[in-house]
Amino acid sequence: MPLSPDQQADIDAQRAATTPTRRATAPGIEAHLYSAIPVLDHGFVRVVDYMGDDAAIVQAARVSYGAGTKAVSDDRGLIRYLMRHWHSTPFEMAEIKLHVKLPIFVARQWIRHRTANVNEYSARYSILDGEFYIPAPEHLAAQSTANHQGRGAVLEGAEAQRVLDILRGDAARAYDHYQAMLGTEGQQGLARELARMNLPANIYTQWYWKTDLHNLFHFLHLRADPHAQYEIRAYAEAICKVVEDWVPHAWGAFRDYRLGGAHLSAQGLDCVRRMLRGEAVTQETSGMSKGEWREFLALLESERQG
């Protein structure tokens, strides 16, 4: 189960309590407090705390630009201007703290985003639960032949079942051996910090992860992308829903200029201008490498389809 009974009881108690405050609150994210969004088979994301909202972003920006900007720019317009022109510091005025339960191999991808504060469940002091991520059949895919770090066709039938049997069997055996090494009551077992090394990377861990909105947007730009690995993308998409409710103006600007936008190199921009003038541009005349040209054409094609 995603939440342990003790965790659920603690969350229920906190959710039932109300505390008056003078600080600014964001109604959209208040609704997410003390509730867990399920992710994958045993994981979740939940909001523990937050600071700031769209108004905090605007407030910080106007300290920099002066009060005069308020007469010519409403909050939404100013936030979109900040996003459009890569003014990042005002977005750092809003922060969020998340409690995340995730497979260890996903955590190892996630931790590459170093601009955050993290405290992870320690298997040196506590015994890990026997919960392992087992992909749904539709997410079992072969290695891509075109992308060394991507997936290809979905496995089906007997091959898919073979893989699932291996994953479940290995997880069960590893956890049985983990418990056996820890020993039983009255029997001295191996230290927890050593026994954990036998566990596979699909066992679940938990952590508290706190970051500001600017760095959260960077995380989401990479991990909510359709090309990101499915498992971490599932967490990013859950966080996207929270952010949309928390800071709707900032989310709208991020969606339009980052998630839905595109960045062109100087050569790419020059090619677009030449194409608009009716010139036939080829890879040989573009000034791009073959790889850059393929990506450029793929971007234009996706824009046409969109």
Give the mean pLDDT of the chain.
89
Told to judge if 162 belongs to the known catalytic residues of this protein, a careful annotator would answer no
Asked if the model's pLDDT at residue 168 lies above 90, the reply is yes
% of the chain at pLDDT higher than 70 = 92
Q: Per the residue annotation, which of 46, 80, 223, 233 is the catalytic one?
A: 223
Cβ atoms < 10 Å from Cβ of 10: 13
What pTM was computed for the model? 0.86
260 or 66: which carries more pLDDT confidence?
260
pLDDT tens column, 103-153 = 999 999 999 999 999 999 999 889 999 999 999 988 988 776 666 666 778
Q: Rounded to an integer, what distance in angstroms lies between the CA atom of residue 19 and that of residue 225?
A: 38
Token pair 């893989």 is found at 163
Phi, psi (rounded to 5 degrees) for 30: -55, -35
Q: Select from 3.30.1360.170, 1.10.10.10, 2.160.20.10, 3.50.50.60 the CATH code of 5-133+202-259.
A: 3.30.1360.170
Angle at 260 between CA 303 and CA 262, to 5 degrees: 65
Q: How high is the pLDDT of residue 5?
A: 84
Domain spans in the chain, listed from the N-terminal domain onward: 5-133+202-259, 135-200, 266-305
**Which tens digits make up the pLDDT trace of 242-289?**
999 999 999 999 999 999 888 899 999 999 999 999 999 999 999 999
Could you give the CA distance from residue 34 to residue 16 in angstroms, rounded to a whole number?
9
Is the CB of residue 140 less than 8 Å from the CB of residue 164? Answer: yes
Q: Which tokens in the block code for residue 191?
A: 């230290």
**What does the pLDDT read at residue 183?**
85
